[in-house]
Amino acid sequence: MAVVAIEKYEFSPADSQEKFNGNQVLYIGWEDHLMFCAPFAFAFPPTMIFKEILDKVIPDAFGYHPETSKIDWSQAEWFKSGKSWKPDVNKSLVENGLKHKDVLRFKTPGLKGIKGSCS
Amino acid sequence: MDMRVKKKLGIKERYTVMTRDLGWETTFQPMDDVFPYDKFEGIKIHDWDKWEDPFRLTMDAYWKYQAEKERKLYAIIDAFNQNNGHLGVTDARYINTLKLFLTGVSPLEYMAHRGFAHTGRQMRGVGPRVACQMQSLDEIRHIQTQIHSISNYNKYYNGFHDFTHMHSRLWYLSVPRSFFDDAITAGPFEYMVAIGFAFEYVLTNLLFVPFVSGAAYNGDMAATTFGFSAQSDEARHMTLGLECIKFMLEQDPDNLPIVQRWIDKWTWRGIRVLMLVGTMMDYMLPKRVMSWKEAWEIYFEQNGGALFNDLARYGIKVPKCAEQAGIDKEHITHQTWAALYQYGAATDFHTWIPNPEELDWLSAKYPNTFDKYYRPRLEHWAEEAKKGNRFYTKTLPQLCQVCQVPMFFTEPDDPTKISYRESDFKEEKYHFCSDPCKEIFDHEPEKYVQAWLPTHQVFQGNCFTEEADPAAPGFDPLAELLKYYHFNNGRDNMDFEGSEDQKNFAAWRNESVKN
């Protein structure tokens, strides 16, 4: 639906990719670990290799959780916009088909948060 | 020559002369040009004179009443301040609720002042114009009295020093700010439903009653008094909002679907803002009045239920979102406090883990959810904090495009899963925390694509001071962000435990009771 307005109502989006200084936004949430209250937001170069997310980004952003060190990436399941998805960890974000403001979730079987509470 | 004594006007005549008689049909310019904004929303009004003014208040009487309220209010505030009333509050943690109120809510009073001034100007009917004018003045009075009564705390405690600057910049304050920006950029009738009805009528008791009784329970006479002083205006505001709804619905049956959609939208928008108040009730008041869940049940489910029963004869239905809000009442305050706690380096107030008795209170008030979902994370954080490993997240959260709250709300049918919703619009992806927020976006995407989302603004480099150089070696984005916020880093933010506020309050209170 269009906005009901007094005259023509068209504005460019505030968050289009060209405004992010060459980066693209990617959101990442860890299923069953709601101690991190919301999915995190990142601005990454599109050419960044996906593996860097596993090696650096996640240990840094999610490192406070006692289960972070127990993550077995060979078992992890990924979801993009809620649908099952598989990254090629040696390829870049763009080569993995990730677009600006995509949302990823990862699930780590066997890890259920603080005292199994999904925290 | 005989003196001709004019007969004094009766109340009814006086009302007519001083309200309805102040308007006229313009002849030099067409009425549609003089009042260009009161038709484009699609609301059809056939007879503006059918507007019933339930208070029949004239401007001269208005000044008289308000002046009397002000005299009482300022006498009490003065006495409170002169007697160091701030040292009589339950515990220095309470003062953080005032910081949240001043930075988050008081600026909304000012926006309400502007909104009602604008709306009053745009309505061609004299009845609503006069009522809007008075409400506009009430609202500016409210922010003034709040600033005056809270300013005394600014002499002694951190975090009160720059609330207007912070209101339009801080990440969590974008929630109330964007709420009002959304309302004030709507047409005059939508604004009346948004603020006059959904906020003032349906939800205001959830803001004022718990806040004011919270202040009273915790020994803050100054805040209690400005609350009462404002609350007596609120009764008039509620009636104006309700009258506007009835007026629209009685004027033309075509107005019903438009009004219903606005009620649905604004009830939800208001609920998302009020989670800050709920969190204050459950987590920030050292002496608690009632839980958010209880307040929701009394003020929304019971009182609001009666209101919607009353409106049913016009065809109005209870907002769709009420069902989800009824499920969420068991969760949102715990989720909100958890978010504020972990982003506590970037809040303009202190955060903490409730003490063991307070955790038990939460268990008792939330028997279905607290122990199962929320206590484990709080206890874990408390243990870590004891070891010197207090939890501060430095990575920014994903936000909802509409309510701008971090995406921490869970699925209505599964509190262990974050509720993710998204829409594509003109090749751009947008994310939402819930079905109601997604519906609001999908109805008017052009409006919400402009949202100033703090997380994205930081990434775009728009939230640093002019001196900041992101290319410089050792650039610390969080420290630079706090400079942009005008924080005194380490004094305004972080945990209550060990804060300057905590130490000063203890020392001063000690001085006031001992030699």
How far apart CA B186 and CA B484 sit, in angstroms, is: 30
- Comparing A59-68, A100-109, B3-12, B473-482, the range with the smallest average pLDDT is B3-12
Q: Looking at the domain assignment, is residue B59 inside a domain?
A: yes
Mean pLDDT on B457-475: 91
Half-sphere exposure at residue B282, Cβ-oriented, CA atoms within 13 angstroms:
31
Distance from CA of A113 to the nearest CA of B (A): 9
Q: Predicted ipTM?
A: 0.98
Closest CA to B257 of B39, B38, B40, B43: B43
Nearest Cβ partner for A40 among B396, B426, B446? B396
Residues of chain A with pLDDT > 90, as a percent, come to 98
Nearest Cβ partner for B452 among A14, A32, A39? A14
Q: Looking at the domain assignment, is residue B239 inside a domain?
A: yes
Contact status of A23 with chain B (Cβ, < 8 Å): yes
- Answer CATH for A22-114 from 3.10.20.560, 3.30.43.10, 3.30.70.2190, 3.40.50.920: 3.10.20.560
User: Backbone phi, then psi, for A107, in 5-degree steps?
Assistant: -120, 135
- Token code pair at residue B26: 């313009």
How far apart CA B399 and CA B433 sit, in angstroms, is: 8
Strand partners, B374: none
Query: Structurally, how many domains does chain B consist of?
Result: 1
Mean pLDDT on A36-41: 98
Mean pLDDT on B462-481: 90
* DSSP classification of residue B8: P
Distance from CA of A91 to the nearest CA of B (A): 23
Q: In chain A, what residues touch B39 (CB-CB under 8 Å)? A: none
- pLDDT, one tens digit per residue, over B408-439 is 999 999 999 999 999 999 999 999 999 999 99
A1 contacts B444? CB cut-off 8 A: yes
A32 contacts B461? CB cut-off 8 A: no
Give B56's pLDDT tier (boundaries 50, 70, 90). confident
- pLDDT, one tens digit per residue, over A58-110 is 999 999 999 999 999 999 999 999 999 999 999 999 999 999 999 999 999 99
pLDDT value at A1 more than 80 = no
Q: In chain A, what residues touch B423 (CB-CB under 8 Å)? A: none
How far apart CA B306 and CA B300 sit, in angstroms, is: 9
Residues 62-101 of A with CB under 8 A from B: 64, 81-82, 99-101
How far apart CA B240 and CA B136 sit, in angstroms, is: 12
Contact status of B223 with chain A (Cβ, < 8 Å): no
Distance from CA of A95 to the nearest CA of B (A): 19
Contact status of A2 with chain B (Cβ, < 8 Å): yes
How far apart CA A27 and CA B266 sit, in angstroms, is: 28
The whole domain housing B65 covers: 10-330
Contact status of A19 with chain B (Cβ, < 8 Å): yes
Residues 290-329 of B with CB under 8 A from A: none
Q: Is A81 left (phi over 0), alpha (psi -120 to 50) or beta?
A: left
- pLDDT, one tens digit per residue, over B156-193 is 999 999 999 999 999 999 999 999 999 999 999 999 99
pLDDT of residue B410: 98
Q: In chain B, what residues touch A16 (CB-CB under 8 Å)? A: 428
Give B14's pLDDT tier (boundaries 50, 70, 90). confident
Q: In chain A, what residues touch B351 (CB-CB under 8 Å)? A: none
Q: Looking at the domain assignment, is residue B101 inside a domain?
A: yes
Distance from CA of A88 to the nearest CA of B (A): 23
Distance from CA of B40 to the nearest CA of A (A): 6
pLDDT of residue B1: 63
Query: How far from B4 is each of B8, B14, B117, B405, B432, CA to CA, in Å?
Result: 12, 20, 40, 67, 71
Q: In chain A, what residues touch B342 (CB-CB under 8 Å)? A: 36-37
The better pLDDT of the pair B226, A102 is held by A102
User: Domain-by-domain residue ranges, chain A?
Assistant: 22-114
B459 contacts A41? CB cut-off 8 A: yes
A21 contacts B342? CB cut-off 8 A: no
Q: Are A77 and A84 in contact (CB under 8 A)?
A: yes
How far apart CA B93 and CA B57 sit, in angstroms, is: 41
Nearest Cβ partner for A6 among B37, B450, B459? B37
Nearest Cβ partner for B420 among A101, A103, A118? A103
Residues 471-500 of B with CB under 8 A from A: none
Q: Looking at the domain assignment, is residue B169 inside a domain?
A: yes
- Token code pair at residue B154: 């600014």
B36 contacts A119? CB cut-off 8 A: no
> Model-level pTM greater than 0.90?
yes
Mean pLDDT on B6-16: 84
Mean pLDDT on B483-489: 97
How far apart CA B419 and CA B68 sit, in angstroms, is: 50
pLDDT value at A2 more than 90 = no
A118 contacts B406? CB cut-off 8 A: no
Q: Looking at the domain assignment, is residue B448 inside a domain?
A: no
A25 contacts B459? CB cut-off 8 A: yes
* Closest-approach residue (CA) in chain B for A5: B40
The CATH number of whichever domain residue B291 belongs to comes to 1.10.620.20
H helices of B89-220, in order, are 95-104, 106-122, 126-154, 163-167, 174-184, 188-191, 204-217
Residues 3-32 of B with CB under 8 A from A: none
Q: Looking at the domain assignment, is residue B76 inside a domain?
A: yes
Q: Looking at the domain assignment, is residue B141 inside a domain?
A: yes
How far apart CA B108 and CA A59 sit, in angstroms, is: 40
Q: Are B378 and B359 in contact (CB under 8 A)?
A: yes
Nearest Cβ partner for A82 among B41, B374, B420? B420
